[in-house]
Amino acid sequence: MPMRKTFAILTVLVLVTSPGQAQDKVRKSVFGANAGVSVPINEFAYHTFTYDAGFASPGPMLEAEYLYYGKFFGFSSSIGYSGFFFNENAYRSEYDRTLGGYGTNDVSAGNYQVIKFLAGFTLKIPEINHTEVMLLFHLGYAACFHPELRVTNSELGLINSVARNKGGSPVANAGLKINYWLNERYSVSLNGSVTTTEPSFGDATGPGRSFNMLMNYTSVNVGFIMNLKTPSL
């Protein structure tokens, strides 16, 4: 439900906000590349056996983006990758607690991965001292990958197994972007965003053969931007 509400709100914002309104004649067409860290939040980061607990830990993120904007409004799109480490130690501790110390548990897991494709609009305050501040609102599609997971017990053998598999889902994203222009062509940027998506993953050993996972996370990154449309062009 939270994912559906967020998606509906951002859909309305995208439809009612038009970047084509009257603006300053100086517009920028920019390409950027960003790198940083993604941090799971809410259920995705839980390290206890509860519904939707993801046992996810922070991991790397990469992003390429394109923006076209004027004085106040603009369009933006991006493709991004986020990886999240699976907290094997916390998962093992939960099995130790659940089984009351019976046998020795071993956990082997890969990493979560999210590849998202976004498009939306920007709201910007006028540039001050070579600095721009923007709000970005995006909708799109996320290809999410659940890691392979195996849990064995020295007395019971294999007690849990999930194959690596993919789940696709709509995704909503909102962010803050600060650009500092070194000259008319190049800029450095500091970016922060919140992303939510809820893919469905397969689980051959589970009662429903599949499950939904709410993957909420924040990202913080730095980047480099090139203006493709300077006043001289």
Going by their DSSP bridges, the two strands 131-146 and 165-181 should be labelled as antiparallel
What is the count of structural domains for the chain?
1
111 located within any domain? yes
135 located within any domain? yes
Q: Which domain CATH number covers 64?
A: 2.40.160.20
232 located within any domain? no
61 located within any domain? yes
**Amino acid identity, residue 59?**
G
The two structure tokens encoding residue 116: 């998202």
Q: What is the pLDDT of residue 119?
A: 98
Contact 31, 226 (CB under 8 A): yes
- List, in sequence order, every beta strand (DSSP E) within the chain: 28-41, 56-57, 59-69, 73-86, 105-109, 111-124, 131-146, 149-153, 157-162, 165-181, 186-197, 200-202, 210-212, 215-227
Taking the C-alpha atoms of residue 233 and residue 215, their distance in angstroms, rounded to an integer, is 43
233 located within any domain? no
Q: What is the pLDDT of residue 132?
A: 95
Domain that holds residue 214: 2-18+28-227
109 located within any domain? yes
Whole-model pTM: value is 0.84
Q: What is the pLDDT of residue 211?
A: 83
Which DSSP symbol is given to 7? Answer: H
Taking the C-alpha atoms of residue 117 and residue 123, their distance in angstroms, rounded to an integer, is 20
Considering only the C-alpha atoms of the chain, give the largest distance between any 2 of them, rounded to a whole number of Å: 74
Please list the pLDDT of the chain residue by residue as tens digits (233 residues). 555 555 555 554 444 444 444 444 567 999 999 999 999 999 999 999 887 889 999 999 999 999 999 989 999 999 999 999 999 999 999 999 999 989 999 999 999 999 999 999 999 988 899 999 999 999 999 999 999 999 999 999 999 888 899 999 999 999 999 999 999 899 999 999 999 999 998 776 666 677 889 999 999 999 999 999 765 44
> What are the backbone angles phi and psi of residue 171, rounded to the nearest 5°?
-135, 145
